[in-house]
């Protein structure tokens, strides 16, 4: 049922045409070429500057075709708070990943208020970098495809992001962002290609997303508050993850997160909270996971507070991140591992007020899966996995 609802929402949101507002600035009028070979970054920036300087609402129009675009930053504040970017074509990143150098970003929106981005495909041309990393050669880190930073009242609707070198969409230090009906695609073996990453932001809503990628479908970083995620299908990928948190000591916490009506198919994780095993004053509080379907998921429900990549900087240390008030309701489906619920919490800062309600996960057919809990306290109801875990 959840998968059907997601499919219907994606279809509904993608069929409504978007009316232009105010003056219309066609990027081809500024010299952009839809041949996929001519860098149209300067033309696109000129169209942006014209729309940004307009004292009345404005539309940037991107027609059908492929537009090669190098690194570009759209900067505000603008003279108006109503700019529509209406995209029918495809933006293609340079295939030579070294072109991004140390920038680490492809397309950036910074200090913008009242921007709406409708439609369009963003092709990050990441396959060359992935191959380099797979070969074990000396490779750059790569670039995030689309970044929204220090911005407010943003709408992202009907956008498709594919083949990003690194993260597809990053929302950083923003307030009031709606992401709806987006499609994100990258191979399951593409490294560090998180679908949507949110950090340091308040009031972000993600609805009706189809995410297939090589890392987290949605990752939630420090300083995220009042985040709503609904009607999301995930897989392949690493699931929906809060964290990793606690890499630095003075780190902001994560608070008031709701994740509901989701489907995970063949993912490494389902609903995950992950923290470094080292001292920190960060926290996770007020999280609701509900109405999730797991289809052959390796770790459907997991809290891991002993994250320590390559055993560097944190061996034998205890996580200082405090996790409390986390509720799991109506999580059902199949687990690819016998232990479907795993809470591996901090010995010095145990997880508290964990609530499990109507958890029905099976393993290897119809037999109930198992649960494992360390340093976790809470309550269970309607739980077919042995309830002695909490």
Q: How many Cβ atoms sit within 10 Å of the Cβ of residue 136?
A: 7
Catalytic residue among 123, 172, 194, 215: 215
Q: How many Cβ atoms sit within 10 Å of the Cβ of residue 162?
A: 19
Tokens found for residue 108: 């950036």
The string of DSSP letters for 127-182 reads HHHHHHHHHT-------EEEEEES-EEEEEES-EEES-SS-SEEEES-EEEEEES-
Torsion, CA 201, CA 206, CA 212, CA 217, rounded to 10? 40
Please give the Cα distance from 208 to 3 (Å, whole number). 10
Please give the Cα distance from 171 to 104 (Å, whole number). 15
Instruction: Please measure the distance between the N-terminal and C-terminal CA atoms of the chain and give it in whole angstroms.
Output: 30
Please give the Cα distance from 222 to 71 (Å, whole number). 26
Please give the Cα distance from 225 to 241 (Å, whole number). 14
- Examine the residue annotation and report whether 238 is marked as an active-site residue of this protein: yes
Catalytic residue among 194, 197, 216, 238: 238
Residues with catalytic function: 215, 238
């Amino acid at each position: 049922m959840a998968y059907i609802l997601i499919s219907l929402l994606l279809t509904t949101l993608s069929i409504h045409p978007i009316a232009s507002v105010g003056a219309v600035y066609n990027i081809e009028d500024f010299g952009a070429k839809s041949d996929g070979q001519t860098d149209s970054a300067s033309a696109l920036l000129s169209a942006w500057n014209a729309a940004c300087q307009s004292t009345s609402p404005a539309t940037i129009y991107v027609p059908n075709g492929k537009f090669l675009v190098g690194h570009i930053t759209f900067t505000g504040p603008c003279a108006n708070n109503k700019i529509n970017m209406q995209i029918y074509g495809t933006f293609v990143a340079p295939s030579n990943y070294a072109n991004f150098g140390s920038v680490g970003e492809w397309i950036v929106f910074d200090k913008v208020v009242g921007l709406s981005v409708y439609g369009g495909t963003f092709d990050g041309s990441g396959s060359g970098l992935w191959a380099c990393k797979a070969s074990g050669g000396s490779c750059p880190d790569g670039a995030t495809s689309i970044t929204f930073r220090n911005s407010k009242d943003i709408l992202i609707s009907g956008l498709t992001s594919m083949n990003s070198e690194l993260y597809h969409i990053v929302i950083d230090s923003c307030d009031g962002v709606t992401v709806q009906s987006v499609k994100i695609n990258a191979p399951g073996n593409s490294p560090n290609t998180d679908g949507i990453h949110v950090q340091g932001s308040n009031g972000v809503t993600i609805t009706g997303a189809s995410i297939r990628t090589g890392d987290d479908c949605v990752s939630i970083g420090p300083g995220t508050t009042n985040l709503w995620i609904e009607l999301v299908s995930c897989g392949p990928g690493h699931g929906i993850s809060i964290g990793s948190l606690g890499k630095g000591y003075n780190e902001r916490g994560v608070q008031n997160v709701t994740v509901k009506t989701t489907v995970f198919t063949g993912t490494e994780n389902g609903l995950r909270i992950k923290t470094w095993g080292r001292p920190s004053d960060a926290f996770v509080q007020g999280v609701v996971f509900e109405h999730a379907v797991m289809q052959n998921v390796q770790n459907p429900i997991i809290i891991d507070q002993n994250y320590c990549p390559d055993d560097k900087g944190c061996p034998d240390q205890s996580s200082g991140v405090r996790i409390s008030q986390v509720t799991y309701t109506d999580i059902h489906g199949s687990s690819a591992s016998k232990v479907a619920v795993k809470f591996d919490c901090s010995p010095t800062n145990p997880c508290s007020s964990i609530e499990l309600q109507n958890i029905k996960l099976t393993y290897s057919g119809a037999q109930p899966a198992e649960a494992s809990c360390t340093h976790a306290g809470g309550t269970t109801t309607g739980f077919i996995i042995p309830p002695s875990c909490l």
